[in-house]
Amino acid sequence: MRWPLLLLLNAARPISTRAEIPAVVTLGNGRRFPLLGLGCASGVRQSHVLSALEIGYRSFDTAQAYQWGYHEEEVGEAVYLSGISREELFLQSKIHPEDFGYAATKRALAVSLRRLNTTYLDAILLHKPRCWPGACARHPEGTWQESWRALEDVLYDGLVRAIGICDVDGPLLEELLQQRQKPHIIQNWMDPFHQDREVRQRCREAGIQYQAYSSLGTQWVHFRGHIFNPVFAHPVLRTIAEQREGNVAQVVLAWALHHGVAVIPASTSRERQRSNLDSFGLQLSPADVARIDGLDGALDPPSAEVTLENSGKSKHSVHSEL
């Protein structure tokens, strides 16, 4: 993979050809942020992180939550084994809502730094805005707002370089914009049938980097009652993939990148990791982009909406991509 080359392409405009897709954008903190990283849940372990590093991935999204399939210390080990210098990498982790509270969040960050074997994180996010029944092993000491104070302070202390939060809706985003330090990154579910346009638009206006999880449709399988992943099955996406001589995952990732959305597809397969990274090479026409934009809301609404919060699921499903 041509990552070192891509690092030079620090274009600000999201456009759709290889040379023009910005591989790296500048966050609100002035730091560089690779738009495509490896999601480290869904069975991704040390050897898979290592293969991604070998292929050219330089950005990794992990979390403290073992129950949701993450293994921070294996990411740290893979980074160490790779011999790649820390400054070349973007390491992002997430604080579990059971660690909400000012002091608890600071303690949790120390755990991440130790497990990842590093002195700083490139980004730390609050993994969910709240606990829900079954999600938290203990009653949190405090609120997400108190945790946000802690994140602001560790940001100023230099232990982290960017802060953010996942699963943000409109009202929460407005509250975040009132904080002393607004988020650098917001990570939400976004895929071709769930495009989250309003939050994305608001993030754009506010200078916040939007990062998509489950961009390849797994939320529909895990929580929305679909037996087959509707993204991989959809005729529009399959047709575009055929015309562009790529696969559906590449089409969807290229479409998200076109919109300036950061993506973190997980995969344990070296070939799939490479193929996902190569989505930078897939050229979408403006008509392709418009057709995919038109898929928003195209799936029948589920009869009863199931989410992580009411599904009873806890394992390996939150951020799984493939």
Contact positions toward ligand NAG, by CB under 6 A?
76-77, 80, 117
As annotated, the active-site residues are 66
- Under 8 Å between Cβ of 247 and 237: no
DSSP-based three-state secondary structure for 60: strand
Do you know the residue count of the chain?
A: 322
Instruction: Quote the least distance from Cβ 62 to ligand NAG, whole Å.
Output: 15
CA angle (195, 263, 267) in 5-degree steps: 120
Instruction: Quote the least distance from Cβ 79 to ligand NAG, whole Å.
Output: 8
Residues 6+ apart with CB under 8 A from 18: 280, 281, 282, 283
Instruction: Quote the least distance from Cβ 54 to ligand NAG, whole Å.
Output: 17
Interstrand relation of 32-34 and 24-26 (parallel, antiparallel or unpaired): antiparallel
Nearer to ligand NAG, 159 or 237 (CB): 159
Instruction: Quote the least distance from Cβ 49 to ligand NAG, whole Å.
Output: 12
Nearer to ligand NAG, 80 or 232 (CB): 80
Q: At what angle do helices 102-115 and 144-157 cross, to 10 degrees?
A: 50
Question: Which tokens go with 232?
Answer: 């991989």
Nearer to ligand NAG, 74 or 278 (CB): 74
Nearer to ligand NAG, 117 or 307 (CB): 117
Task: Using the structure block, give the residue that is written with the tokens 């989410």.
Answer: 307
Q: Which amino acid is at 67?
A: Q
Question: Which tokens go with 11?
Answer: 């274009």
